Amino acid sequence: MNIVETSPRIAVLGAGRVGSALARVTVEAGYPVSVSASRGPDDLELIASVVMPGATPMWTADAIAAGDVVVLAIPLHRFPALDPALFADKIVVDGMNYWPPIDGRQEFFERGGAGSSEIVQDHLSSAHVVKTFNHLGYHEIEDDRRPVGDADRRALGVAGDDRRAVELVASIVDRIGFDPVTFTSLRDGRAFQPGEPAFGNLLTRPQFLELVPRRVAA
């Protein structure tokens, strides 16, 4: 195992509800973490020191460059403006959702039944996109963490086309305090999008596997 596999540098894009929670829990889990918002690092410094102590504020492009794993925790409508060239060969965790009642109709994400993370992958074609963290509320990212073996440990779906990327992200999910349920196709992540039974429900691993078709579970 190399250093990237044991302690990857995590870049969280977005310092709002989801981004700040993910920055906190990944710092607590011992990862080196950078964080960015649409404002620059000077504007983020104070709030980061209070709300995400230990996370390093950076410009978005610098955070991406510094990260082995880049987490998307930005509003969906801001995604199309991200420059795909910055993400070459990065492992990208997509925690975003397309939920028209909340986000409004977004043409970029309207593509005949394709999952939103599949569209993210098409835009970031040279990255390895993994879908997870999207199907729990931001406050639950901290509150629902449990140690390995706890009977109530919450399951999180982890789906992507690149097996190594899925395994690395699953190890992060596990170290934070959730049970990863891995899927070897990004398409399978449709099963934990808004409107699906696994979305927003606190499920243990057996409960998750019961709801999401077993044929796609690895």
What residue ranges bind ligand NAP (CB under 6 A)? 13-19, 36-39, 60, 73-76, 78, 95-97, 134, 137-138
User: CB 81 → ligand NAP: shortest distance, Å?
Assistant: 7
Distance of closest approach, residue 3 Cβ to ligand NAP, in angstroms: 26
Which residues are CB-contacts of 66 (< 8 A; sequence separation ≥ 6)?
Answer: 9, 11, 34, 58
C-beta of 74 vs 203, nearer to ligand NAP? 74
Q: Judged by CB, which is closer to ligand NAP: 23, or 165?
A: 23
Residue whose CB is nearest to ligand NAP in the complex, by number: 16
Residue 189, CB-side half-sphere exposure with 13 Å CA sphere:
32
What tokens were used for 3?
């250093």
CB of 5 or CB of 144, closer to ligand NAP = 144
User: Minimum distance from CB of 140 to ligand NAP (Å)?
Assistant: 8
Give 74 or 212: the residue with its C-beta nearer to ligand NAP.
74
Cβ–Cβ under 8 Å, residues 179 and 152: no
String of DSSP letters for 41-74: HHHHHHHHHHHSTTPEE--HHHHHHH-SEEEE-S
CB atoms within 10 A of CB 32: 17
Q: How far is the CB of 182 from ligand NAP (least distance, A)?
A: 19
The 8-class DSSP code of residue 212 comes to: S
Gap between the Cα atoms of 97 and 175, Å rounded: 23
User: 135 or 214, CB closer to ligand NAP?
Assistant: 135
In the complex, least distance from residue 59 CB atom to ligand NAP, rounded to whole angstroms: 9
**With respect to ligand NAP, which residue has the nearer C-beta, 196 or 218?**
196
Question: 21 vs 100, 117, 145, 146, 173, CA distance in Å?
Answer: 24, 21, 12, 15, 13
Least distance between ligand NAP and beta carbon 82 (Å): 6
- Our measurement of the distance from residue 124's CA atom to the centroid of its chain's CA atoms, rounded to an integer in Å, reads 15
